[in-house]
Structure 1
Amino acid sequence: MKIKKVEIRDYKAFYGNNEFKVDGKNLFIYGENGSGKSSFYYALKDFFQSSSETLDYNETENIFLTKAQKGKGFIKVTFNPDKDGTTADKTYTLNKRTKDTYVAGDTSIRDAIKLKSFLTYKHLLDIHHITKDKEIDLFNLLVKGVLKHFKSVAITGNKELGELWEDAEKAVAKPTQSRTYNITQKRVDVDRAINAFDTAFKKLFQKNSIENILKYAQPILDKFGHNIELDLHYTQAKANTKYDAIERNHVRVKIKYQNKEIAKPHFFLNKARLSAIAISIYLGMIKRHIQGLPCKILFLDDIFIGLDIGNRLPLLTILDNEFSAYQVFITTYDKPWYEFVKSTYLDGNNAWKSYEFYARRTRKGFEVPIIRENHSNSHIQNYIDKAEAFFNEGDNKAAGVYLRSAFEFILKRFCFGKKVPVPFYLDNSKMKTDEFWKAVKKYKTTHAACGLTPATSTQINHYTNLVLNPLSHHDINKHEITAEIQGAITTLRTLKNELNV
Structure 2
Amino acid sequence: MSGVSIERIQISDFRAFPALAPADIVLDGCNMLAYGENGSGKSSIYRALRGLFSSSAQDIMPLHNVFTDPPQPSVRVTLTDKTEYHWSAAGHPTADIQDVARKSAFLSHTRLIEMNTGATPNDKPELFHVAVAHLIADFEATVTGGAKRNVGELWQAVTNAFSRTEQYAGGSGQRRPKNFVAVLQTALDEFNDGMGQAITALEGQAKPLLRRLVDVLTQDALELVGFTFYGVNYDAERKTLRNVTLTANVNFRDHTPPAHQSFLNEGRQSALAIAIYLAGRMACVPTTDDALRLLVFDDLLISLDHSHRRPVLEVIATEFKDWQIILLTHDRFWFEMAREQLLGKPWKCVEIYESVDGDGLLRPSVWNSSENLVDETLKQAKRFLDENPPQPAAAANYARTACELALRRYCRNHNILFAYADDPQKIKLDDLLKKAAAHAAPDAGRKAAIGGLNQHKKLILNPLSHNPTQPIVKADVQAAITAVKALVTACSTKKKSVTAVFSSSRFPLRQR
Q: Same fold (TM over 0.5)?
A: yes
Partner residue, 1:21:
26
CA shift for structure 1 position 101: 8.8
Q: In the aligned structure 2, how far is the partner of 1:443 from the partner of 1:13?
A: 48
Partner residue, 1:378:
372
Task: Spell out, residue by residue over 1:309-352, the C-alpha distance to the aligned partner (whole angstroms, 9 max, x if none).
Answer: 5643322211111112222112344x3xx413413653671333
Aligned residue among 311, 315, 318 for 2:312 = 315
Q: In the aligned structure 2, how far is the partner of 1:194 from the partner of 1:36?
A: 49
Partner residue, 1:220:
209
Decide whether the 8 Å contact of 1:37 with 1:357 is kept in 2. Answer: yes
CA shift for structure 1 position 7: 0.6
Matched to 2:488, the amino acid is: R
Q: In the aligned structure 2, how far is the partner of 1:177 from the partner of 1:283?
A: 48
Q: In the aligned structure 1, how far is the partner of 2:276 from the partner of 2:153?
A: 14
CA shift for structure 1 position 235: 1.4
Task: Spell out, residue by residue over 1:14-72, the C-alpha distance to the aligned partner (whole angstroms, 9 max, x if none).
Answer: 321222233433223344555443332232233334xx654434344445543xx23x4
CA distance 1:7–1:444, shift in 2 (3 Å): same
Partner residue, 1:130:
118
Decide whether the 8 Å contact of 2:117 with 2:125 is kept in 1. Answer: no
Describe how 1:449-460 pairs up with structure 2 within 5 A.
453-460=443-450
Identity of aligned residues (%): 21
Partner residue, 2:73:
73
CA shift for structure 1 position 298: 0.8
CA distance 1:257–1:121, shift in 2 (3 Å): closer
Describe how 1:100-499 pairs up with structure 2 within 5 A.
110-130=98-118, 136=124, 138-140=126-128, 142-143=130-131, 146-147=134-135, 150=138, 152=140, 157=149, 160=152, 164=156, 167=159, 171=163, 180-185=172-177, 196=187, 199-206=190-197, 212-224=201-213, 225=215, 226=220, 228-241=223-236, 243=238, 245-253=240-248, 264=257, 266=259, 270=264, 272-288=267-283, 289-294=285-290, 295-305=292-302, 307=304, 311-333=308-330, 335=331, 338-343=332-337, 346=340, 349-351=343-345, 352-357=347-352, 370-390=364-384, 397=392, 402-415=398-411, 418=414, 420=416, 433=429, 436-445=432-441, 453-462=443-452, 464-465=454-455, 468-471=456-459, 480=475, 487-488=482-483, 490-498=485-493
Decide whether the 8 Å contact of 2:392 with 2:477 is kept in 1. Answer: no
CA shift for structure 1 position 443: 1.4
CA shift for structure 1 position 161: 6.0
Task: Spell out, residue by residue over 1:438-486, the C-alpha distance to the aligned partner (whole angstroms, 9 max, x if none).
Answer: 432321357xxxxxx5334335545654xx4432689999973899578
CA shift for structure 1 position 9: 1.1
Partner residue, 2:10:
7
Aligned residue among 93, 96, 104 for 2:89 = 96
Q: In the aligned structure 1, how far is the partner of 2:471 from the partner of 2:112?
A: 52
Structure 1 range deviating more: 321-330 or 268-277: 268-277
Q: In the aligned structure 2, how far is the partner of 1:332 from the partner of 1:477?
A: 27
Three-state SS of the structure 2 residue aligned to 1:130 is coil
Three-state SS of the structure 2 residue aligned to 1:42 is helix
Matched to 2:405, the amino acid is: F
CA distance 1:478–1:377, shift in 2 (3 Å): closer
CA shift for structure 1 position 8: 0.6
CA shift for structure 1 position 433: 4.8
Q: In the aligned structure 2, how far is the partner of 1:249 from the partner of 1:476?
A: 59
Q: In the aligned structure 2, how far is the partner of 1:158 from the partner of 1:204?
A: 9
Matched to 1:123, the amino acid is: R
Decide whether the 8 Å contact of 1:31 with 1:356 is kept in 2. Answer: yes
CA distance 1:125–1:417, shift in 2 (3 Å): same
Q: In the aligned structure 1, how far is the partner of 2:490 from the partner of 2:446?
A: 7
CA distance 1:495–1:144, shift in 2 (3 Å): farther
Three-state SS of the structure 2 residue aligned to 1:498 is coil
Matched to 1:56, the amino acid is: D
CA shift for structure 1 position 370: 1.9
Task: Spell out, residue by residue over 1:225-281, the C-alpha distance to the aligned partner (whole angstroms, 9 max, x if none).
Answer: 3563533332122344554643222335555678x8x65554696254444343323
Gaps of 5+ in 2: 496-511
Matched to 1:78, the amino acid is: T
Three-state SS of the structure 2 residue aligned to 1:56 is coil
What CA RMSD, in Å, does the superposition of the two structures yield over aligned residues? 4.9
Decide whether the 8 Å contact of 2:230 with 2:243 is kept in 1. Answer: yes
Decide whether the 8 Å contact of 1:347 with 1:378 is kept in 2. Answer: no
Q: What's the TM-score once normalised by structure 2's chain length? A: 0.70
